[in-house]
């Protein structure tokens, strides 16, 4: 009888070169958070694959991908990575790969096909040679809540149609139709709706981006959002959360389950957060406006 496929998911690792400041507001030391997550995950049961669903490097620079690859290469299992909105395409593609750490777009194990979608592909533009590259303005990529674009959407449909595997699971940075106003994009959800209307074998999604680990159902599919290493929140309890990861078991019959693992430690207390972060998550203020509020408070 076929064995279940076991996978660990890390997300939003936001690696920095030692001593650098993170982008945006308050953040954990992601090297320290990675060490804690790694120790917990690597001492658990063996898995078939470790997945990282984007925002691998905080500023999307090549030297940060070398730090990331050094860290991820410590896993005794293969690691496969897809990009997020913080990941700049050229340094990501050239910087992350090394033995044991890959950027494959499709991984087939047993009766499962794991598709690694690029939910930033819609911002890319053709250069003079016709190769699709990131736009000149990095903010075009950084400030999006997901856009596949027609080429990536067509590729996903093709892969789902061509795979000999019975079941498809999509790993992608931006969760489709996420029920959090801060991170929701109607056009991106519509792209996935069109794909689901064309292919029947997608069983679910594993994503990141929100830094709010959770689970919801959409069009009969389970969508799991993994915790971040940079900072992490419980929107219902209105508290910060420690860093962590998810484990998954994919069964040969197409069912699967996921468990959330958060590494509680005095370095990452579950402190309450106030109205400003609630307003950010509810889409009432932007990240820039939040940063202005934080700066004003710091001035007293």
Which spans of this chain sit near Fe ion (rule: CB under 5 A)?
Answer: 12, 55
User: What minimum distance in Å lies between the beta carbon of 84 and Fe ion?
Assistant: 6
Our CB check for Fe ion shows the closer of 14 and 203 to be 14
What CA–CA distances, in Å, run from 268 to 81, 230, 233? 26, 11, 11
> Shortest gap between Cβ of 120 and Fe ion (angstroms)?
12
- Contacting residues for 59 by C-beta, under 8 A, at least 6 apart: 16, 20, 23, 86
Task: Closer to Fe ion by CB, 168 or 225: give it.
Answer: 225
What's the rounded Cα separation, in Å, for the pair 180 and 216? Answer: 11
* Closest approach of Fe ion to the CB of residue 182, in Å: 12
SS3 assignment, position 223: strand
Task: Tell me whether residue 159 or residue 280 sits nearer to Fe ion (CB atom).
Answer: 280
Q: Under DSSP, is residue 5 helix (H, G, I), strand (E, B) or coil?
A: strand
Beta carbon nearer to Fe ion, 148 or 229: 229
Q: Are residues 55 and 68 in contact, defined by beta-carbon separation less than 8 angstroms?
A: no
For residues 15 and 58, the answer to whether their CB atoms sit within 8 Å is yes
Query: CB of residue 95 vs Fe ion: minimum separation in angstroms?
Result: 18
Least distance to Fe ion, CB of residue 164, Å: 34
Q: How far apart are CA 128 and CA 126, in angstroms?
A: 7
Q: Residue 235's closest CA among 283, 284, 277, 174?
A: 277
**Is 103 or 210 the residue whose CB approaches Fe ion more closely?**
210
């Amino acid at each position: 009888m076929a064995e279940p496929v076991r996978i660990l998911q890390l997300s939003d690792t936001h690696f920095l070169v030692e001593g650098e400041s993170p982008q945006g507001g308050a953040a954990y030391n992601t090297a320290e958070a990675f060490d804690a997550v790694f120790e917990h995950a690597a001492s658990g049961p063996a898995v078939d694959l470790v997945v990282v669903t984007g925002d691998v490097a905080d500023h999307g620079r090549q030297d940060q991908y070398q730090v990331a690859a050094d860290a991820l290469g410590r896993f005794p299992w293969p690691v496969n990575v897809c990009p997020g909105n913080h990941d700049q395409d050229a340094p990501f593609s050239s910087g992350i790969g090394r033995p044991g750490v890959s950027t494959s777009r499709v991984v087939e194990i047993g009766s499962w096909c794991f598709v690694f979608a690029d939910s930033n592909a819609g911002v890319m533009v053709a250069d003079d040679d016709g190769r699709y590259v990131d736009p000149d303005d990095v903010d075009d990529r950084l400030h999006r809540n997901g856009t596949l674009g027609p080429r990536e959407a067509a590729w996903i449909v093709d892969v789902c149609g061509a795979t000999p595997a019975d079941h498809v699971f999509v790993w992608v940075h931006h969760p489709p139709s996420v029920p959090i106003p801060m991170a929701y994009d109607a056009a991106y959800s519509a792209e996935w709706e069109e794909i689901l209307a064309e292919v029947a074998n997608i069983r679910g999604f594993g994503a990141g981006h929100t830094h709010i680990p959770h689970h919801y159902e959409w069009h009969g599919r389970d969508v799991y959002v993994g915790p971040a290493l940079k900072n992490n929140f419980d929107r219902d309890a209105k508290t910060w959360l420690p860093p962590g990861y998810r484990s998954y078991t994919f069964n040969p019959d197409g069912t699967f389950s996921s468990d959330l693992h958060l590494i509680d430690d005095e370095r990452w207390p579950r402190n309450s957060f106030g109205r400003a972060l609630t307003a950010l998550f509810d889409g009432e203020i932007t990240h820039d406006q939040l940063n202005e509020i934080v700066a004003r408070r710091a001035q007293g």
